[in-house]
Amino acid sequence: MLSIITAIYNQKCMNELYWENLTKYTHNKFELIIVDNGSDDGSVEFFESVGATVIRNAANYSYPFCQNRGIEVAQYGWLAFLNNDIIVSPNWDKHMMDSMDFNGLEVATSCGVEQLETKVETRKLRRRWNKVKLITSILGQSKFFLQLAHRLMYKNWVLFCEQRHHKFEGKVRQGFVGNTVVMKRTALDKIGLWDERLQAADYDLYYRTLKRSEKIGDIKPVHICLDTFVHHYIRLTSKKKYPPFFDKDNLISVEEKWGESLMDDYFELMSR
């Protein structure tokens, strides 16, 4: 049983594509909790029509605020915090849960264009996506062109994902890719809810698990499941300017909370 929490602001075409692939490729029974930040393009009505639970914020709130609103109504012991501008892979949830159990993890992310097993492989895939993005971004953001970009990138999505899963089954790497975070509810008892002061909440989550692992040792730092790939459109779908965060005056930077040195340590880890 899985509770999936996703914050949205418009992007109806992407939302439809997200839902189609979520229902197609998710192995376990799940509930989808949509936290809406004031969409006016029919996205809310679409998600309501497919049976998602929709929480309507009165304004555009930051990422961690939205995730915590989702947790308030989530029913299940596994929580997944997903961006809406992603395409999940076949059995993504089962693969991540299996890998997390195998590696004793309570918080983990998928891999993707942002981070793979090595710096070399990451750079290679990023260059490929940048080329595809350049070609397709001028064509618009309709569902057709979003799907076209995905096909050009991977050719055979199912085969690409199956090959990665076979090659890296059960293998993980310390770090994170923030668009797909899976967490056991037991982790909340140790590290608490998302810190609503930080929009860069994925970095904060990583540092919180890291420090807890060093000081108490009852949880491992966030790791990347290398056998579970999720495609992220990154900035291809976010050309339209968002309204300012209603809670912007409450936000601080990662550096303000954790310091520059910890950020440097993380980027050094990811450069290996």
Per-residue model confidence as pLDDT tens digits over 79-102? 999 999 999 999 999 999 999 999
pLDDT given for residue 266 in this prediction: 82
pLDDT given for residue 40 in this prediction: 95
Low-confidence ranges of the chain (pLDDT < 50): none
pLDDT given for residue 43 in this prediction: 97
Residue 41 CA neighbour count, 13 Å, CB half: 12
User: pLDDT digit string (tens) for 134-184?
Assistant: 877 777 778 999 999 999 999 999 999 999 999 999 999 999 999 999 999
Structure tokens at 42: 């029919």
Domain residues for 82?
Answer: 2-270
pLDDT given for residue 237 in this prediction: 53
pLDDT given for residue 141 in this prediction: 76
pLDDT given for residue 269 in this prediction: 77
Domain count within the chain: 1
3-state SS, residue 192: coil
pLDDT given for residue 64 in this prediction: 98
Structure tokens at 82: 């997903």
Structure-token match 């679409």, residue found: 46
Measured between its terminal Cα atoms, the distance across the chain in Å is 36
pLDDT given for residue 236 in this prediction: 62
Structure tokens at 262: 């910890």
Structure tokens at 34: 């949509």
Output the domain CATH number for residue 211: 3.90.550.10
